[in-house]
Amino acid sequence: MNRLSINHTTVVITLIMTLVAKVSFGQLDHNTPYKISVKHSGKSLDVEGAVVDNEKRIIQYQYQGGENQKFILEPTDDGHYKIRVKHSNKCLDIRGGVEATANGAGLIQYSCHNNFNQHFALESLEDGFYRIRARHSNKYLTIANSNPDDLAPVVQMDWVNGDNQKFQLQRPEKFPVVFDITQRLKESESGARRSRTQVYISSAGLVKCISTIVSDAIGGYTAHLSINLKDEHGNVIKTIGSPGYGINAFSQRTVTWGETELPPAILTKINNVEVVFYRNPSHRAVANLDLISGIVDILL
């Protein structure tokens, strides 16, 4: 355990989080498997049932971390890619071959070859997502009928700018989970005031904070919490704050706060999180967390 002393404030931190890492345009790694998620549902492309056989359909499904949800990009020529499924070593393929140019043709996995129905262009969009175009038909991968449910199939369709046609690429080993922080304001004769905060940041950018605020003191107080999301240079790119929460003497309460959705432009830049817990400027606990560091225990 690392030990630091900052303003006589005691903070115990358990961090179970990995760096949020989206793919920047022009930085596609040809050796790294990616999770491919769709904007309208937040779910991921998936080989149904993790089957390795040819012609198994591609669906959307809640991300589980399976090898059937990880894809490797292999450049062909003229800016196109084969998209290889990690678990089966087969490639994404528009069912029916190069003659399958109609709307609604399904996406499957199939032994890799060099026909254009296995070649895809990844075209960047302004909002941080990609559209994926089949080379043989010039149509785009689409979740059928904008269905948000698990098992909805992936098909090719004309581009209509739907969120069910917009995809995000992420490195699976860097998906965010959760970090858990316990903070204690400096001790006094009247007892201790502390907060335990769990901060959830999903790979789709959804944020939720849950805090248990405790007073082991004579007399209540009003607690405030906030998180500062920082980039790699330490600049604050987003602050999310709570309202004031009243807590009575010798009691505790649990509150949910900070529920928001981060745009990709912010989510892709998060490198560090600062968590603040205070009741007034002289009773303030601050923790600055490097998200790359994995599981960390720190006593401040």
187-220: pLDDT as tens digits: 444 456 777 777 777 666 778 777 778 887 777 8
Top mean pLDDT of 91-95, 147-151, 222-226, 290-294 is at: 91-95
41 and 143 in contact (C-beta within 8 Å)?
Answer: yes
Q: Which fold has domain 35-172?
A: Trefoil (Acidic Fibroblast Growth Factor, subunit A) (2.80.10)
Q: Looking at residue 184, what is its pLDDT? A: 53
Locate the domains of the chain by residue range.
Answer: 2-20+176-299, 35-172
Q: What is the pLDDT of residue 25?
A: 37
* The most confident of 48-62, 176-190, 205-219, by mean pLDDT: 48-62
pLDDT of residue 231: 82
Query: What is residue 265's DSSP assignment?
Result: H
Please tell me the class of the 2-20+176-299 domain: mainly beta
CB of 221 within 8 A of CB of 205?
Answer: no
Amino acid at 178: V
* Average pLDDT over every residue of 28-45: 87
Q: Are strands 296-299 and 2-3 parallel, antiparallel or unpaired?
A: parallel
So what's the pLDDT on residue 294?
28
Provide the pLDDT for residue 218: 77
pTM: 0.55
Say how many C-beta atoms besides its own lie within 10 A of residue 8's C-beta: 9
Q: CB within 8 A of 206, min separation 6: which ones?
A: 42, 200, 259, 260, 261, 262
What value does the mean pLDDT take over residues 70-87? Answer: 92
Bridging pattern class, strands 58-61 and 2-3: unpaired
Band (pLDDT 50/70/90 cuts) for residue 262 is confident
Q: Is the pLDDT of residue 285 over 50?
A: yes
First-to-last alpha carbon distance for the chain, in angstroms, is: 10
Confidence of residue 300 (pLDDT cuts 50, 70, 90): very low
Specify the pLDDT at position 289: 52
